[in-house]
Amino acid sequence: MTDYRKTLRAALSAPGGGGEASGPERTSFAVGGTLPSTLPGLQVEGLGQVGLPLAPAQAAALMALCERAPFGRGAETLVDTSRRDTWQLDASKVELQNPGWEDVVAAALDRTRAGLGLNPAVRVEARLHKLLLYEQGGHFAPHRDSEKEDGMFGTLVVVLPTWFEGGALVVRHGRRSERFELGETSRFQTTFAAFFADCEHEVEEVISGHRLCLVYRLVYLGEGTPPSADRPASGTLAAVRDALAGWEADPEGPEKLCLLLEHRYTQAGLTGLRSLKGTDRAAAELLVAAARPAGLDLHLAMLIKKEIGYAGVDDDWEWGGRTPSMDDICRTDYTLSGFVLLAGQKLSVDCKELTIEDEEREILQDKEYLEGLEESDRRVECTGNEGTDIELWYQSAAVVFWPASKCLQVEAGSNLQAAVSSLSKLLAKVPSACIVDMLSNLASLGDTRLVGRFITEAMPGKLAGRHCKEVCAVFPALCLKLGWGPLQQPLLALAAATLGGQHGLVYMADLLYALAAAGEGDAAAAPTLLALGRAAVEHMQADKDVDRSYLGDGDVEDSDAVQERAVPLLFAALLSVPGSEALLAELVQHLISHPRYTLDKVLLPVCDEAPQLVGKQAAAATEPFRRMLQHTLAQLEARSAAEPRAPANWARPANLGCDCADCAAAAAFLQDPSQKQQTFYMAKRRRSHVEYNIKYKPEMADVELSTDTSRGTHGLVLTKTHASYQRATEQHASDRATIARLRPLLQGAGEEPSGGRSKRSRRQ
């Protein structure tokens, strides 16, 4: 056993028995209950023996010896009966003569130790401080006890048998409070309550009778800081945290750990921390406290131990009567179910059960403890000639926990389905490379349904809003390995989820292209590819295209880039799929009837790139591609019909869209057929104004702007050029060249198919 397990076991397990059969409820900041009915043998200086239960006459005599208990406020100590109405007697005036009383205090101390979750190894002592007497109306307002000596960490109140009503002690810690109705049994019983000094507490008004109690200081005799409500087990919290860290760092360590609870609980009764009793609660609270910084997922659960056995017909085992011997048991299973979250992250909805693979490592208690579990049910079935099946059930509530970092392993260890679900939650944060690994690993398991769920449920979350080329590239191999058919639905679900998002169309086009390349020549691939293609085309037809959905107004460049990239790839992919003509025809129709698919950015690239997979000849033999070519060629012809002509003079378009004097002067210059250059000297603000009205207008492309800084006042220099004519000439030449390149395709003179194929490498 590794050290961290030992530490955890010591810190979390209950301290040894102590003969408190029906122990009272205990918490980690306050504890209380009934004590053995031994009397203390109370002797008071000046009064002698005090009989218990206290008789009214003796109560009066005792009170006469007492002083009013003061109430501390800041550094002062004063009597203020509105805050504290109690009579007190110093310990020096009190003697407890019954030697057996020590055992009573020791019992109270044991239970205090357990209830407050103190480390059993640490010595604590109860030292008598005062005797208190409350008469009717007596009370003590909420306060905290001051440290009356070094090491004092709490208070133990022992209420002696004397009848009273009211006078409950209420102890609070944070938002929690515990109420001890010590009066209920006060006529004949001795009761106690103990709490940490840092807990606020009060004594409610005594309604009638006398409340007589001994107040003890609880003193810590160990080293270091004394325990407090916030450090329930004196150094144990730190030890638990260290142990948890050690466990998390141990690559060989178990994925989860279970602490079996001491008390018996039903599944329905296991509702949370408050449903736990005594030390169980202390242990769970300690873990919850440790969970916060450590990142621990913590649940309550029911552990079922199932022994499965078989007695053959030859064995003369009499079923139904005795418990089958261990010889009959051939398998023992441990499962956990009915999880109730205490801290950290919930198990995924699918994960209803976890299996304990190795109880010796995963359960903190030892083997004997497990063997000592009480049988909770049995199933014995005689299967006639074949013998007898035996199933014995044992159950125990448990705290199950694991470092948050191991959550996935825990779920995956027991239930792959569940792991997939919880993965989707995490996936958005995981680098793409991990997803690729994950997919490949799932694929190597050969579980197609699982891969399908991963793609359907987990991937969209990952892909939403971004395009991951690496992730895209993993699918072809997946389809080749697991078959196209089973992956069709998951891929369609992925398409539906991604198409709506940013770059969705680019992603789909890339995906389809990669898939088409892998499925080339495989008839089984066609239905999947066509279905995906249809999803993409319908998305375009529905005009939900990326540009409007995510780009701000006017940010057209980006949208073009998306189309430029996506459409040719989509086209190329579909072109290679047998039976895609109808779909392609729809795509072509869509492209040529929407002006936003421009000649240069979409139509031409489509014509150029579409034959990538099938080669130019094959492409040109496809009707939709021919139509695309024809349309594109027609547009090219129209654009290049007229030879560009050089401007006859220096007159240029001159609409600046402003009629201020400066713009008017600039316009006059622009219209002037004879003047090539002019400089306008004026203040910067005016120069900028004119500059702005020229610079961003496409029709002013033939005006160059510069600044003359050679004089005191700078000048805006406007120079007319032939830039647009030059550009038009270049465009014209390029259009003619393109026509010359594309036209032969229509006439059936494409290049070799292999030439087309070799281009594929460009995209991969």
Ligand X SMILES: O=C(O)CCC(=O)C(=O)O
157 interacts with, out of ligand X, Fe ion, none, CB within 5 to 8 A per kind:
ligand X
String of contacts with ligand X for each residue 86-125, x by CB under 6 A: ----------------------------------------
169 interacts with, out of Fe ion, ligand X, none, CB within 5 to 8 A per kind:
ligand X
Which residue's beta carbon is nearest to the bound ligand X? 157
Q: Which helix (H) or strand (E) holds 378?
A: strand 375-382
In whole angstroms, the minimum distance from the beta carbon of 254 to Fe ion comes to: 45
Q: Which helix (H) or strand (E) holds 368?
A: helix 367-371
Query: CA–CA separation, 425 vs 83, rounded Å?
Result: 55
Residue 133's beta-bridge partner residues?
Answer: 87, 212
666 interacts with, out of ligand X, Fe ion, none, CB within 5 to 8 A per kind:
none
Closest by CA position to 240, among listed 274, 290, 170, 301: 290
Closest by CA position to 328, among listed 314, 346, 347, 343: 314
Query: CA–CA separation, 467 vs 498, rounded Å?
Result: 9
Closest by CA position to 390, among listed 452, 339, 326: 326
In whole angstroms, the minimum distance from the beta carbon of 140 to ligand X comes to: 5
| CA distances (Å), origin 575, targets 472, 610, 752 | 20, 7, 17
Q: Based on the number of CB atoms within 10 Å of its own CB, is 482 exposed (0-12), middle (13-18) or buried (19 or more)?
A: middle
Q: What phi-psi label fits residue 41: left (phi over 0), alpha (psi between -120 and 50 degrees) or beta? A: left
213 interacts with, out of Fe ion, ligand X, none, CB within 5 to 8 A per kind:
ligand X
233 interacts with, out of ligand X, Fe ion, none, CB within 5 to 8 A per kind:
none
Q: Based on the number of CB atoms within 10 Å of its own CB, is 47 exposed (0-12), middle (13-18) or buried (19 or more)?
A: middle
Closest by CA position to 157, among listed 120, 134, 191: 191
String of contacts with ligand X for each residue 146-165, x by CB under 6 A: ---------x-x--------
Query: CA–CA separation, 40 vs 45, rounded Å?
Result: 15
In whole angstroms, the minimum distance from the beta carbon of 203 to Fe ion comes to: 8
In whole angstroms, the minimum distance from the beta carbon of 229 to ligand X comes to: 15
Residue 211's beta-bridge partner residues?
Answer: 134
Question: According to CB under 6 A, which one of 109, 132, 133, 219 is a site residue for ligand X?
Answer: 132
Nearer to Fe ion, 153 or 317 (CB): 153
In whole angstroms, the minimum distance from the beta carbon of 133 to ligand X comes to: 10
132 interacts with, out of Fe ion, ligand X, none, CB within 5 to 8 A per kind:
ligand X
Nearer to ligand X, 193 or 459 (CB): 193
For residue 145, state whether it binds ligand X (rule: CB under 6 A): yes
Question: According to CB under 6 A, which one of 111, 139, 201, 299 is a site residue for ligand X?
Answer: 201
Please provide residue 227's backbone torsions phi and psi, each rounded to the nearest 5 degrees: -70, 160
Question: According to CB under 6 A, which one of 39, 203, 286, 529 is a site residue for ligand X?
Answer: 203
Task: Quote the distance between the C-alpha of residue 299 and its chain's center.
Answer: 15
User: DSSP label at 69?
Assistant: P
Nearer to Fe ion, 215 or 443 (CB): 215
> In the numeric block, which tokens belong to residue 520?
């080339």
Nearer to Fe ion, 84 or 539 (CB): 84
| CB count in 10 Å sphere of residue 619 | 26
- Angle between helix axes 556-575 and 623-640 (nearest 10 degrees) is 140
Number of residues located near ligand X, criterion CB under 6 A: 10
Helix (H, G, I), strand (E, B) or coil at 601: helix
Nearer to ligand X, 215 or 742 (CB): 215
> Is residue 219 within 8 Å of 153, Cβ to Cβ?
yes
Residue whose token pair is 């998306």: 562
478 interacts with, out of ligand X, Fe ion, none, CB within 5 to 8 A per kind:
none
12 interacts with, out of Fe ion, ligand X, none, CB within 5 to 8 A per kind:
none
In whole angstroms, the minimum distance from the beta carbon of 179 to ligand X comes to: 12
Nearer to ligand X, 159 or 370 (CB): 159
Q: What phi-psi label fits residue 18: left (phi over 0), alpha (psi between -120 and 50 degrees) or beta? A: left
In whole angstroms, the minimum distance from the beta carbon of 190 to ligand X comes to: 13
Q: Which residues contact 704 (CB under 8 A, 6 or more apart)?
A: 718, 719, 720, 721, 723
Query: CA–CA separation, 260 vs 399, rounded Å?
Result: 6
In whole angstroms, the minimum distance from the beta carbon of 206 to ligand X comes to: 10
> Is residue 311 within 8 Å of 390, Cβ to Cβ?
yes
Enumerate binding residues for Fe ion (CB under 5 A): 145
For residue 126, state whether it binds ligand X (rule: CB under 6 A): no
Q: Which residues contact 729 (CB under 8 A, 6 or more apart)?
A: 644
Residues of span 212-271 touching ligand X by CB under 6 A: 213, 215
| Beta-strand pair 388-403/257-260 | antiparallel
Question: According to CB under 6 A, which one of 4, 29, 87, 140 is a site residue for ligand X?
Answer: 140
In whole angstroms, the minimum distance from the beta carbon of 132 to ligand X comes to: 5
In whole angstroms, the minimum distance from the beta carbon of 189 to Fe ion comes to: 22
For residue 31, state whether it binds ligand X (rule: CB under 6 A): no
Query: CA–CA separation, 545 vs 559, rounded Å?
Result: 9
Which residue's beta carbon is nearest to the bound Fe ion? 145
Closest by CA position to 210, among listed 187, 180, 185, 243: 187
691 interacts with, out of Fe ion, ligand X, none, CB within 5 to 8 A per kind:
none
Residues of span 168-187 touching ligand X by CB under 6 A: 169
Please provide residue 719's backbone torsions phi and psi, each rounded to the nearest 5 degrees: -125, 125
In whole angstroms, the minimum distance from the beta carbon of 400 to ligand X comes to: 38
String of contacts with ligand X for each residue 696-735, x by CB under 6 A: ----------------------------------------
In whole angstroms, the minimum distance from the beta carbon of 145 to Fe ion comes to: 4
Nearer to ligand X, 169 or 584 (CB): 169
In whole angstroms, the minimum distance from the beta carbon of 143 to Fe ion comes to: 6
User: DSSP label at 454?
Assistant: I
Nearer to Fe ion, 132 or 261 (CB): 132
Nearer to ligand X, 203 or 478 (CB): 203
Nearer to ligand X, 145 or 248 (CB): 145
281 interacts with, out of ligand X, Fe ion, none, CB within 5 to 8 A per kind:
none
122 interacts with, out of ligand X, Fe ion, none, CB within 5 to 8 A per kind:
none
User: DSSP label at 17?
Assistant: -
In whole angstroms, the minimum distance from the beta carbon of 203 to ligand X comes to: 5
In whole angstroms, the minimum distance from the beta carbon of 174 to ligand X comes to: 19
Q: Which residues contact 451 (CB under 8 A, 6 or more apart)?
A: 439, 442, 443, 478, 482, 487, 490
104 interacts with, out of Fe ion, ligand X, none, CB within 5 to 8 A per kind:
none
Enumerate binding residues for ligand X (CB under 6 A): 132, 140, 145, 155, 157, 169, 201, 203, 213, 215
